[in-house]
């Protein structure tokens, strides 16, 4: 039995009917701000291959929401036309959204070739002006390690071969720009060999799965990327991004009235708000300042994923919005994240009537399990860490001081 602790605000949506003649016309939600560096996105039915079921209207609605929160999204795969629908929706809404396009792998050649070929078919049709990179795999190494630790090296070799395969396919095209090819995995699975083989590394970095209390979660996230396995990426001179960071609002199969508890980690709407308050603006400030602790990040995730009920625990409840796209009982930070500039045929549309404070001109996956850091080390929270500018900003936030 599911227990919902998150409360919808009752303002179901400020977005007008998506089936309107011009998807670039909608009413912006004044509660939303472009404070997220990026957002992790899986269309509602994208994991239901081959049945699928997502429509363009549904993805347009999601793109309208995301464009009010960020200028970057990452997708997890191409099955069920999810990348195609995203790119079509971005063009129709004239929004400034850039994409790290995911190609999901599971060790099966048929899966990889289907996903890869669809990705390139989408690039050929819609162009690559707003494509920031191609992400091959999501937690493939973590899944291999969980199934059988002895197969990890073989899995790493396979993943690297698929990164190289996508590079070869890119070299055969004439897209007129260099598109980096990388991968996303649990932070605990990043190795020097893996990092050296990729153009960029995305590390899923979830304090919730490491049993960190919410007051220390933002600091843990930033310092984990520096002090634990993800540092192999920066050591190799590669771009390191946090591919998933967030906090769940509820959990299944628990008698704890506060939500699922993992050591000190508790799933609740109040704790999601604390994570937003202590992580987002401090990280944005570090990014703007060019700090070594300033890594781009993708908030996990846009809305609750009902299909993840099969995994139990907190898996279905990581959204900023509930499954019906109602904003949860939270306040989105108002600081503006560093943004990607509009390119090609993209506009900077964030809807009409916006009071979000964004820089818009005012409108004319299956991901599988969300995984986590996959590691019981609390890493950065104890050892040899110099108090950083990020930490100072976090402590200020916890203390109730204004960040920006």
Could you list the active site residues? 139, 244
Instruction: Name the residue among 247, 330, 355, 356 with its Cα closest to residue 9.
Output: 330
- Tell me how crowded residue 10 is: count the other CB atoms within 10 A of its CB: 8
For strand 200-204 and strand 72-74, is the pairing parallel, antiparallel, or unpaired? unpaired
Q: If DSSP states are collapsed to H, E and C, what string results for the chain?
A: CCCCCCCCCCCCCCCCCCCCCCCCCCECCCCCCCCCCCEECCCCCCCCCCCCCCCHHHHHHHHHHHCCCCCEEECCCCHHHHHHHHHHHHHHHCCCCEEEEEECCCCCHHHHHHHHHHHHHHHHHHCCCCEEEEEEEECHHHHHHHHCHHHHHHHHHHHHHHHHHHHHHHHCCCCCCCCCEEEEEEHHHCCHHHHHHCCEEEEECCHHHHCCCHHHHHHHHHHHHHHCCCHHHHHCCCEEEEEEECCCCCCCCCCCCCCCEECCEECCHHHHHHHHHHHHHHHHHHHHHCCCCCCCEEECCCECCHHHHHHCCCCCCCCCECCCCCECCCCCCCCCCCCCCCCCCCCCCCCECCCCCCCCCCCCCCCCCCCCCCCCCCHHHCCCCCCCHHHHHHHHHHCCCCCC
How many angstroms separate the CA atoms of 233 and 237, rounded?
6
Tokens matching residue 393: 């900003």
Residues 6+ apart with CB under 8 A from 12: 324, 325, 326
Q: What is the C-alpha separation between 94 and 182, in angstroms, rounded? A: 27
């Amino acid at each position: 039995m599911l227990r919902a602790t998150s409360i919808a605000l009752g303002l179901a949506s400020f977005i007008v009917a998506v089936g309107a003649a011009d998807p670039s016309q909608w009413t912006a939600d004044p509660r939303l701000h472009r404070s997220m560096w990026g957002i992790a996105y899986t269309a509602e039915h994208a994991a239901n291959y081959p049945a699928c079921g997502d429509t363009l209207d549904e993805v347009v609605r999601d793109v309208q929401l995301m464009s009010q929160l960020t200028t970057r999204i990452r997708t997890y795969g191409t099955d069920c036309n999810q990348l195609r629908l995203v790119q079509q929706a971005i063009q129709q809404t004239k929004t400034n959204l850039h994409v790290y396009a995911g190609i999901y792998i599971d060790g099966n050649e048929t899966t990889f070739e289907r996903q890869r070929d669809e990705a390139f078919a989408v690039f050929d049709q819609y162009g690559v002006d707003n494509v920031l990179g191609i992400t091959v795999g999501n937690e493939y190494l973590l899944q291999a390690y969980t199934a059988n630790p002895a197969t990890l090296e073989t899995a790493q070799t396979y993943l690297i071969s698929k990164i190289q395969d996508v590079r070869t396919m890119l070299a055969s095209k004439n897209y007129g720009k260099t598109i980096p090819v990388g991968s996303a995995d649990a932070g605990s699975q990043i190795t020097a060999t893996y990092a050296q083989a990729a153009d960029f590394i995305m590390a899923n970095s979830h304090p919730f799965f490491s049993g960190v209390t919410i007051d220390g979660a933002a600091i843990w996230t930033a310092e984990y990327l520096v002090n634990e396995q993800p540092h192999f990426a920066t050591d190799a001179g590669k771009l390191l991004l946090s591919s998933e960071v967030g906090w769940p609002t509820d959990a299944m199969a628990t008698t704890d009235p506060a939500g699922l508890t993992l050591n000190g980690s508790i799933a609740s709407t109040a704790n999601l708000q604390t994570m937003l308050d202590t992580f987002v603006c401090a990280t944005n400030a570090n990014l703007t300042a060019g700090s070594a602790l300033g890594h781009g990040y993708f908030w996990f995730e846009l809305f609750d994923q009902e299909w993840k009920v099969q995994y139990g625990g907190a898996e279905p409840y990581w959204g900023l919005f509930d499954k019906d796209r109602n904003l949860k009982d939270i306040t989105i930070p108002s600081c503006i994240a560093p943004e990607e500039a509009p390119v090609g045929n993209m506009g900077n549309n964030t809807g009409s009537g916006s009071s979000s404070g964004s820089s818009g001109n005012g409108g004319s996956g299956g991901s599988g399990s969300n995984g986590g850091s996959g590691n019981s080390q609390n890493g950065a929270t104890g050892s040899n860490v110099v108090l950083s500018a990020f930490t100072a900003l976090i402590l200020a936030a916890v203390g109730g001081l204004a960040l920006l």
